Structure 1
Amino acid sequence: MASKFTELAFDCADPEGLARFWCEVLGYEVQGREDGFVSIGSPEVPEGARRPGPVPPVLTFARVPEGKVVKNRLHIDVNPTDRDQAEEVERLLGLGARRADVGQGEGDTWVVLADPEGNEFCVLATRRP
């Protein structure tokens, strides 16, 4: 048997703020809170309903004293589901994301953004249902 990807953890300065941002990005909701720690995940599926595809991982945000100082070695890719890439990028910028330059080239099919604490993520061009 293999392991299953269930959680992605973020070290951050403001767990509540970063959790709010990613809830808006992904349509997630807060699933748990403890002192300096917030977990978010996909909304619960009503009894008898089916979720298409695999269960998405939970994201956790834990307060740490040090700040981000280098490029991420791991990042999230998101796919717009109900709008095109440019519209999704504008929506995310309105939520507090900012454009990031990580050395991407001209003509790439993805747009690199950073969340409010500087964690890079990509918005892909292909829409996924």
Structure 2
Amino acid sequence: MLPRVLTVTYDARDPERLARFWAGMLGREVIEDAGGLLLPGDDTQPGLRVARGDAEMVRPNLIHLHLTSTTLDDQQQTVAKILELGGSHLDVGQLPEEGHVVLADPEGYEFDVIEPGNNFLAGTGFLGELACDGSRAVGVFWSEALGWPLVWDQDEETAIQSPHGGTKVAWGGPPLAEREGRNRQRFEVAVAADDLAAEVDRLVALGAKRLGPAELADPDGNEFSVTAR
């Protein structure tokens, strides 16, 4: 099977600021390329890309990150670092007794710092999860698209993980949020340049819809791209 690297693109009105924030949080370098500002991933951690986009933030966002903690003190230190780098607390209706902390990055994208002892995210690393809005069908699609096994498949909720471990990608099942225009967060799948056309054909055979030469939509209608690496 061809090696594939997953990246999540974020549209931002101030790409440089958002890229600096996540680079500081994740300890990654920022590389400027034709697609924007890239924080590269690997076969266990998805990359993050920040692209210029001037659209207003529309909630709920369809993807949000879960950062892990080893202790309560570690969780508090992570939250303090987020605030120092330009993040902010966010009220989405969470209850006081819930252990996770909900925050927003400088562009307003929400994410969580998960409390210690979360068994589902054990061993995933600091970037524990991409929590996505989506159906079971889209979870199965991405399992086949990336060659990542399903590590959770219950009550319409699914999750996949690289065979090498690391970050999980999960879909919460119905009801799905209403889409309003183009998603401001999108997946990108990078493959070897010589395999680009064949990869697009393979993904269409799995159930993707063609939107352009290397622009597709998954079974839930979420746009994504296939790029050469």
Instruction: Decide: shared fold, TM above 0.5.
Output: yes
Quote the residue 1:104 is aligned against: 94
Tell me the amino acid that sits aligned with residue 41 of structure 1.
P
Quote the residue 1:31 is aligned against: 31
Tell me the amino acid that sits aligned with residue 54 of structure 2.
P
Alignment root-mean-square deviation, CA: 2.7
Deviation per residue, 1:69-115 (Å, 9 max, x gap) = 32323200011469511121111111100000111112112100000
Quote the residue 1:15 is aligned against: 15
Contact 1:84–1:125 (Cα < 8 Å) also in 2: no
TM-score normalized by the length of structure 1? 0.78
Quote the residue 2:51 is aligned against: 62
- The answer for unaligned runs of 5 or more in structure 2 is 118-122, 126-229
Whole-angstrom distance in 2 between the partners of 1:81 and 1:30 = 26
* Residues 37-52 of structure 1: pairs in structure 2 closer than 5 A: 37-42=36-41
Q: Of residues 96, 109, 112 in structure 2, which corresponds to 1:122?
A: 112
The 3 A distance-change label for structure 1 pair 33 and 16 is farther
Q: Which has the larger radius of gyration?
A: 2
Moved more, 25-34 or 80-89: 80-89
Quote the residue 1:76 is aligned against: 65
- The answer for unaligned runs of 5 or more in structure 1 is 45-53
Whole-angstrom distance in 2 between the partners of 1:5 and 1:33 = 16
User: Secondary structure of 2:60's partner?
Assistant: coil
Tell me the amino acid that sits aligned with residue 26 of structure 1.
L
Whole-angstrom distance in 2 between the partners of 1:70 and 1:8 = 17
Contact 1:32–1:40 (Cα < 8 Å) also in 2: no
Tell me the amino acid that sits aligned with residue 37 of structure 2.
V
Contact 1:12–1:67 (Cα < 8 Å) also in 2: no
Quote the residue 1:47 is aligned against: none
1:6 maps to 2:14: no
1:33 Cα deviation (Å)?
3.0
User: Secondary structure of 1:125's partner?
Assistant: coil
How many residue pairs get matched? 118
* Residues 89-100 of structure 1: pairs in structure 2 closer than 5 A: 89-100=79-90
With a CA cutoff of 8 Å and minimum separation of 6, indicate the structure with the bigger relative contact order: 1
TM-score normalized by the length of structure 2? 0.46
Whole-angstrom distance in 1 between the partners of 2:96 and 2:5 = 33
Quote the residue 1:50 is aligned against: none
The 3 A distance-change label for structure 1 pair 4 and 81 is farther
| Identical-residue share of aligned pairs (%) | 38
User: Secondary structure of 2:30's partner?
Assistant: strand
1:65 Cα deviation (Å)?
2.0
Moved more, 63-72 or 89-98: 63-72
User: Secondary structure of 1:10's partner?
Assistant: strand
